[in-house]
Amino acid sequence: MKYIKSDMNTAGTNKVARTLRHTLAAVLAVSVVASTAISPASATSRIKDIADFEGIRDNLLVGYGLVVGLNGTGDGLRNAPFTKQSLEAMLERLGVNTRGTTLNTKNVAAVMISASLPAFTKQGTRIDITASTLGDSSSLLGGTLLATPLLGADGEVYAVAQGALAVGGFTAQGEGGSVTKGVPTSGRIPAGAIIEREVPFDFAGMTRMNISLRNPDLTTALRVSEVINAFLGHRATKPQNPATIELIVPPAHHKNLVALLTKIEQLNVEPDQSAKVVVDEQTGIIVMGDKVRVSTVAIAQGNLTISVTESEQVSQPGAFAQAGNTEKVARTDIGAEVEGNEKLTVLNAGVSLQQLVNGLNALGIGPRDMISILQSIKRAGALQAEIVTM
């Protein structure tokens, strides 16, 4: 009986232990869910959105050509000798000799062609192009671009462009005036160029590559490296500088590099940034990052307006004066006025971006005065941020 009783106690103890373990696991699970639910979401971004992989890049193309078929809005051949020379050379290649003759057409315009060659584009693929005038042509509306080779930085021909231009603007004029809408001297040809040469690059065979940050930062580079290493399970990346992270491709992924990079670019990273205040004085635009902080400082603002008014009065002699002349006499009125409520606002040390904006708004000032205040706070050494003037 004692043996059976002891066994029964052991079984009960095991049952209670199992129950406690399940209860504890449930509590921990609820705690994790609760903490996840109440924790603020961090401003994370995909690596795909903040960095580029080595070798995946566009190449710029440029070319010079002629647009024909314009309705009298082309280049004046006297004012644009390069248009005349290009027209004569083109006609000679087609068997038409125009040397020594006077050309007076207004239906031809010289243009520069620009395009972007995407990475790994194959021969025969079409890309968009943009044409912009070089001479005094007033509009490219209705024009057709003749076959134009597009060159890369190495001087080789990578594409050939041709087709009818799509112009978003127009111009109309008469003897008494003119109307222009948009930019009629520039146009696009969707899918207007055919790729003739590919850019050779062995991407799939790479065993080592660099990841380049679009906004270089030491902290962001380290975070990207740590996230990738945690995903791969070993130290495969190392930051080289604020803009570059070196990636050594694991041997298991040598045959499928695209799949590896696809997974890496979907990883989330919280990018860091330095405290900056970007100011555009021409438009009055101010952009401040969330890292901007201000030391304790007091600010007062008031606009002093001085007005000067000139007026003329007539001075003439009295009715019974023996002599005198009627003269114009200038009268000047000067007034000074201080606008605003002359408020003094105190910004405490370490205030956040929202508190800084609220404090500046409390002064009731416009964007241009706010620019001057921010620059004054910076000169006083109280603004812990870099001011970038555009």
Query: What pLDDT score was predicted for residue 78?
Result: 85
Task: State the pLDDT at residue 37.
Answer: 32
H or E segment and range at residue 384: strand 383-384
The whole-number pLDDT of residue 32 equals: 33
Whether the CB-CB separation of 144 and 75 falls below 8 Å is answered with no
Give me the pLDDT at residue 21, please: 44
pLDDT recorded at residue 240: 94
Dump pLDDT digits (tens) for 174-200.
Answer: 666 667 777 899 999 999 999 999 988
Contact 109, 83 (CB under 8 A): yes
pLDDT along the chain (390 residues), means of 10: 40 44 37 34 81 91 96 88 90 85 88 95 94 92 95 95 89 67 89 93 88 94 95 93 94 90 94 86 80 76 55 69 69 56 59 67 72 82 83
CA angle, corner 222, sides to 57 and 378, nearest 5? 95
171 within 8 A of 225, measured Cβ to Cβ: no
3 state SS of 134: coil
Closest CA to 67 of 191, 190, 196, 189: 189
Query: 242 exposed, middle or buried (CB, 10 Å; 0-12, 13-18, 19+)?
Result: middle
β-strand pairing of 293-294 with 327-339? unpaired
> What CA–CA distance (Å, rounded) separates 237 from 210?
9
List the structure tokens of 25. 């696991």
264 token code pair: 């890496």
| Residue 268 identity | N
Residue 16 is predicted with a pLDDT of 40
Distances (CA, A) of 173 to 125, 182, 271, 390: 40, 15, 53, 37
What does the pLDDT look like over 328-361, one tens digit per residue? 766 656 554 555 555 555 656 666 666 766 766 7
**What is the pLDDT at residue 215?**
92
